[in-house]
Amino acid sequence: MASIEGTINYISNFPDIKSKVLGKTGYLTSICGFGCYRIDDGIPQHKQALEKAILSGINIIDTSSNYSDGGSEILVGKVLDNLISKNQIERDQIIVVSKGGYLQGSNLKLGMEREQSGKAFKDVVKCTQDLWHCISPDFLENQITLSLERLQLEKIDVYLLHNPEYFLTYSIISDPERREREYYRRIKDAFIHLEEEVKRGRISYYGISSNTFAEKDSKQNFTSLEKVIAFANEISKENHFAVVQFPMNIIESGGMNNLNQQNQTKSFLQLAGENNLGVLVNRPLNAISKNKLIRLSDYPVTEDRNDDEIFSLIEDLRKQESNLIEKYINYVGLSASEKKNVIECISISIILKSNYSKFDNPGNFNELKSTYLIPRANFAINEIGKYYTDDENVVRALRNYAVTTNILLDSIFSDLAKKKNLENEKFHSTIDKFANSEQIKLSLSQKAILLINSVPEVTTTLVGMKSQNYVDDVQKSIKSDFVEKYIDFWHSNRSFI
């Protein structure tokens, strides 16, 4: 388990990286943490990114039982075990945060099986057909057991109730006062159980991750930190309620600006700071505004082609694909269904031409490219190559096809990136009014993270680092000096809102 001494020793190895104390836990943590949403076991680049992050000064990892249906926790467990066995880190240097509350995937299957056998988890909220939610003691006990197994740990350092406000959103209780009483009754029961888990030695501290901590207190699914603190103190003055997590970014600033605590006299962050709670921020780069997701990041531009040039490349690729199909694929020893599959996989030009007008986000396109288009093209190339290993004409044609495909995909991404970077100028110009000469040179994602980290009450900003490039990007932010005029920025009428 993490220890105060261990985390201090770890951070001392990285003097350039800024750190803060995680509230009353006393742990010293890097100001950016490795967020494991959409991180999965079995994906090499995720493993490499997590290893690089840990070995380069990031010592807090945030995961959950429902991230990748448990695959996220499994990956964290494997990486920690590997680095510890190689004596590259010590267990007490790393802070592991996990969460429970969702019934999806295998958890949902378990919940259904228990219900059918007459041993249903208590107080389950059935949100949709594919999503249930629960924070009852019996469910939490089950989830902590499973998380410990996947993480290969004896103790979880911080365990959070994961979005308990789902009850408020989906509850069948129509009376607002009764619904609210029941909500906090469930949270208090969960806290009582988590105190028992601390005594059992399975967790060290606990808290809540909620998307509605920073909302206006008039919202139906608002979670009051003030009330949560009061319930924790009722359980014990020496309680282990120590960490809260919520979304915050340069667009969604409720944590700083919404006075939703103590008769609307204090903000969520003010109250958290006054009560010495560790504060983890999620979604620093994915803002939601007017029901639209805005990615707060600049993108690299490696190619410079206009629409006409891109369509010319698509046509060139189409001709190469037709040539490969007519001259080679039609003559390989595959069944009709197998041949059809190879033809579909190699027909990248058709997909790009028919969907070109729909591409508007470089991040989404990059995901499509890496998880769908490139794997399909590689599969087709390998299948054809098996039958023509000694034919130089085929080898040359496949090589040209691969090169053209990569250039085309990079060109489309770069075109989308140029447009997105142009839109980002409004963010840069507003932020730069409050930044110093060195901070102005940072990328948008680095500036966005730095502005959050500059808030004293925020302990750590959790960033999804799915590749080593993401780790490198974060490193530049957490080595920068804090923004001195951070209060002016957060309280300003930002022009991009």
- Which pLDDT score is estimated for 124? 97
Query: Are 288 and 329 members of one domain?
Result: no
481: in domain: no
Between 54 and 289, where is the model more confident? 54
Query: Are 374 and 415 members of one domain?
Result: yes
Q: Which amino acid is at 107?
A: N
Query: Are 311 and 282 members of one domain?
Result: no
Query: pLDDT digits over 336-391, tens only?
Result: 898 899 999 999 999 999 999 999 899 899 989 988 999 999 999 998 988 888 88
Query: pLDDT digits over 289-317, tens only?
Result: 888 889 999 999 999 999 999 999 999 99
pLDDT-derived band at 48 (thresholds 50, 70, 90) equals: very high
Query: Are 241 and 144 members of one domain?
Result: yes
Query: Are 321 and 260 members of one domain?
Result: no
Of the candidates 452, 471, 476, 466, the residue with the CA atom closest to the CA atom of residue 20: 452
Query: Are 252 and 289 members of one domain?
Result: yes
The predicted model gives 36-61 an average pLDDT of 96
157: in domain: yes
Cβ neighbors of 414 (< 8 A, separation 6 or more) are: 300, 301, 302, 303, 304, 305
Cβ neighbors of 28 (< 8 A, separation 6 or more) are: 4, 7, 8, 10, 11, 19, 20, 21, 22
The predicted model gives 267-272 an average pLDDT of 98
196: in domain: yes
For 404, the domain range is 307-423
pLDDT-derived band at 79 (thresholds 50, 70, 90) equals: very high
pTM for the whole thing?
Answer: 0.92
Give, for 341, the enclosing helix (H) or strand (E): helix 336-346
- Which pLDDT score is estimated for 496? 77
Query: Are 271 and 163 members of one domain?
Result: yes
DSSP 436: -
440: in domain: no
Taking the CB of residue 226, how many other CB atoms lie within 10 A of it?
15
239: in domain: yes
Crossing angle between the packed helical segments 348-355 and 392-423, to the nearest 10 degrees: 20
470: in domain: no
478: in domain: no
CATH number for the domain harbouring residue 227:
3.20.20.100
Query: Are 184 and 320 members of one domain?
Result: no
Q: Distance from first CA to last CA of the chain, Å, rounded? A: 42
Kindly report the length of the chain: 497
Query: Could you give the C-alpha distances from 143 to 44, 130, 137, 268, in angstroms and in order?
Result: 26, 18, 10, 28
Query: Are 340 and 393 members of one domain?
Result: yes
Residue 330 predicted with pLDDT over 90: no
Query: Are 225 and 374 members of one domain?
Result: no
Between 329 and 424, where is the model more confident? 424
Q: Whole-angstrom Cα distance, residue 276 to residue 488? A: 24
Two tokens, residue 206? 């606990």
The predicted model gives 174-189 an average pLDDT of 97
Last residue of a domain, one of 359, 390, 423: 423
Query: pLDDT digits over 81-117, tens only?
Result: 999 999 999 999 999 999 999 999 999 999 999 999 9
Last residue of a domain, one of 391, 423, 455: 423
Mean pLDDT of the chain: 95
The label of the residue with tokens 């490198």 reads 472
DSSP 370: I
- Which pLDDT score is estimated for 194? 98
24: in domain: yes
Query: Are 166 and 146 members of one domain?
Result: yes
Query: Are 161 and 68 members of one domain?
Result: yes
Query: pLDDT digits over 401-434, tens only?
Result: 999 999 999 999 999 999 999 999 999 999 999 9
Last residue of a domain, one of 295, 322, 340: 295
Q: Tell the burial category of 428 from Cβ atoms under 10 Å away from its Cβ (0-12, 13-18, 19+).
A: middle
Q: How many domains does the chain have?
A: 2
